[in-house]
Amino acid sequence: MIRKNRKRALCLLCALCLCGTGGILGVKYYSNPQEPVVLETVSDSLTSEGAPTEEQKKANLNLDVKAAVLIDADTGKVLYQQDAHKELPPASVTKVMTMLLAMEAVEDGKVKLTDPVTISERAASMGGSQMYMEVGETHTLEELLEGIAIVSANDACVAFNWENIWEKKLNTKDNIYNDLLKK
Strand partners, 71: 78
Longest alpha-carbon distance in the chain: 61
Query: Annotated catalytic, 48?
Result: no
Say which of 7, 31, 66, 92 is annotated catalytic. Answer: 92
Catalytic (active site) residue 43: no
**CB proximity list for 119: less than 8 A, separation 6 or greater:** 133, 134, 135, 136, 137, 138, 139, 155, 159
Within 10 A of 41 (CB to CB), how many other CB atoms are there?
10
Say how far apart CA 136 and CA 64 lie, in whole Å. Answer: 29
Positions marked active-site:
92, 95, 152
